[in-house]
Amino acid sequence: YVQDDGAHAAKLDAFLARFLVGAPPALAAALRALFARWNGIGSSGSLAAPLSEPTLRAAWLAHCARWRETLAAQDDLVTRLLRFVEAKR
């Protein structure tokens, strides 16, 4: 969400740097431009979803599937907190 002091720009950059690891360059560029424009950071680029182009749509779907698998492979929050507490004992 847009913040008055522009802090959202750094947060968005940090998220995209992490989210777009391994994404094809064309998809990464399209999504960076889309999210920047959506968040009022840049004036260039279209708000039209990059998904309208079939190759980018396929890349988006594959990338989201890999992202989902990566997240699903992580331990849940409770497990991580219990491990943290146990390590502090």
Query: pTM to 2 decimals?
Result: 0.77
What whole-number percentage of the chain has pLDDT above 70?
Answer: 92
Residue 23 has pLDDT above 80, yes or no: yes
Average pLDDT in the 65-86 region?
A: 96
User: Residue 27 class from Cβ within 10 Å (0-12 exposed, 13-18 middle, 19+ buried)?
Assistant: buried
In whole angstroms, what is the distance from residue 69 CA to residue 19 CA?
A: 13
What element of type H or E holds 30?
Answer: helix 25-38
Is pLDDT above 70 for 22?
A: yes
